[in-house]
Amino acid sequence: MMSNVLMLIRHSTLYNLLKEEGRVLESSDLRTLPKYTFIDPVAEKMAGLMDNLYARYPAAERVTALQINLGNLISRMTNPMNARVLHELRDDYEQLKKANERLNVQVGELNHDFFKECLLQIAEGPPYEETEARARKFLNETQARYIPLYSDLYHGFLDKVRQRGFGLSGLVFKHFLSAIALDRPYKADPQPAQCA
């Protein structure tokens, strides 16, 4: 995942601690999670840079969605209900796992370097707009290059499953990260799952 947010839950230990420190920003709408202030100004600016990431950068959201779907597919292949599929496609499955791992390492290193570079730029003080421009380029263009790579792995393996006559109902898991992160209705993958 490219970004994760600490959700402050009312009356949790962390909530109570931050409340004692005077760092909780309550909303009058109790359905809204409380926010909190940052002690470190670099962390605050970095949080602002990453805020609402998936709504602002659809390529980053799509890469994350594909990573989640691939991880679920790989995991579900080992479920006993999919033993016949695994038996038939063992070699393809092993290749999928290795290719996914290589791709995740590559993207993880890129994301790590990007994050470190942004922190350094924020801390050293060049205009924040320069850091924002760098983030836009990375989160739009660089992330977009990985969409077809992940998509080919995911859909390529599902095509092999279909070609062998198996259904996808025990393999495909639709995550709802997009709907949560983007606060909009969930859109299904353009290739819906088929029943067994």
pLDDT in tens, 42-63: 999 998 888 888 888 999 999 9
- Helical segments of the chain, H only: 13-20, 41-50, 53-56, 58-76, 83-88, 90-124, 128-137, 143-144, 147-163, 177-182
Whether residues 151 and 66 share a domain: the answer is yes
Contact by Cβ (8 Å): 14, 8 = yes
> How much is the pLDDT for 17?
95
What confidence tier does 175 reach under pLDDT thresholds 50, 70, 90? low
The answer to the question of residue 29 being in a domain is yes
Instruction: Provide the residue range defining the domain that includes 100.
Output: 41-182
Whether residues 49 and 25 share a domain: the answer is no
What confidence tier does 126 reach under pLDDT thresholds 50, 70, 90? confident
Q: What is the pTM of this model?
A: 0.78
